[in-house]
Each structure stands twice: as C-alpha cells, then as structure tokens.
Amino acid sequence: MATNQTLEQRQDGNVRTDGQPQETAQTRGTEGVYSPRVDIVETNDAFCMYAFMPGVKPDDVSLHCKDGQLVLHGRCSARSAGKRLLHQEYGVGDFYRTFTLTNLVDQSKIDAKLENGVLAITLPKTESAKPRRIAVKGN
C-alpha cells in the first residue's frame, strides 16, 4: 500500500519511475524543465527508447547526437492559453534529458518518431554488436 507521501507525489505529477520526486528546475516564471520518463528495451538489432512527452508536437522536439551523448529536448506549450485553468496535473515547459551511448550503437542510423505523446527512438546496433549464429560443422 502506498504511503500518503507517495500519493501526494503522484498527484502533483512530479514522480520518477523509482518513486522519488522528479527533478524540475525553474526557468522563467512558473514554467519548469522536466525530465521525461523513458523506457528502454533491447532487441537483437537495436535498443529502443520510448519517452513520454505529453503535449509535445514533432516540430517542438530536438534530438541530436554529439560526442557519444544523445540529447533530447522538447517544448510543451500551455494548453490553457486564453482559458481559465481549473485543474492541472502535468506541467508545461521544456522536457530535457541526455543519454550516454555505448560504442554498440550505430549513431549514423538513429531514427525517431513521435506519436500520441510518445517519442520512439530506435538506436540500431553496430554489426559487431549483433548476435550471430555460428554454424557447427560435423565430420
């Protein structure tokens, strides 16, 4: 059963996947910088990342790779502009996260697609990192 503290953290929308409060840094005014939650899975051919970025549009996402770092940045604009906000459970502002890539990733073939608030990033493995079947010979 969850504690009151955990329930309060979940209600304000600032919870990391490990249950600790999500780190936000104040920028201008009341807007913050958020670290999007990310799932990472591995297949034989690639690593796949799924970043939860609600309200972010494809044109508002920047994804780049430099010096072995994958940098993800997105901007979520206010949905309540010109309206009276009655209740808000997730913030607006910048999403930012960096990941260190291993030499197992073919950085020239990284692909990304944003659909329904989830950014799917495919990080193909280098040929040397992919498992290969070794033929067993007999007499």
pLDDT digit string, tens, across residues 67-116: 889 999 988 887 777 888 888 777 678 888 999 998 889 999 999 999 99
> Is 25-80+88-123 assigned to CATH 2.60.120.260?
no
Strand, coil or helix: 41 = strand
pLDDT digits 0-9 by tens, 25-54: 433 444 568 888 999 999 999 999 999 988
Q: Which residue has the higher pLDDT, 112 or 133?
A: 112
Q: Mean per-residue pLDDT for 128-133?
A: 81
- φ/ψ of residue 30, rounded to 5: -100, 5
Please state the domain extents for the chain. 25-80+88-123
Query: Which token pair is 81?
Result: 């502009």
Residue among 120, 60, 129 at smallest CA distance from 92: 60
pLDDT at 61: 94
pLDDT at 20: 40
Q: Determine contact, residues 15/92, Cβ cutoff 8 Å.
A: no
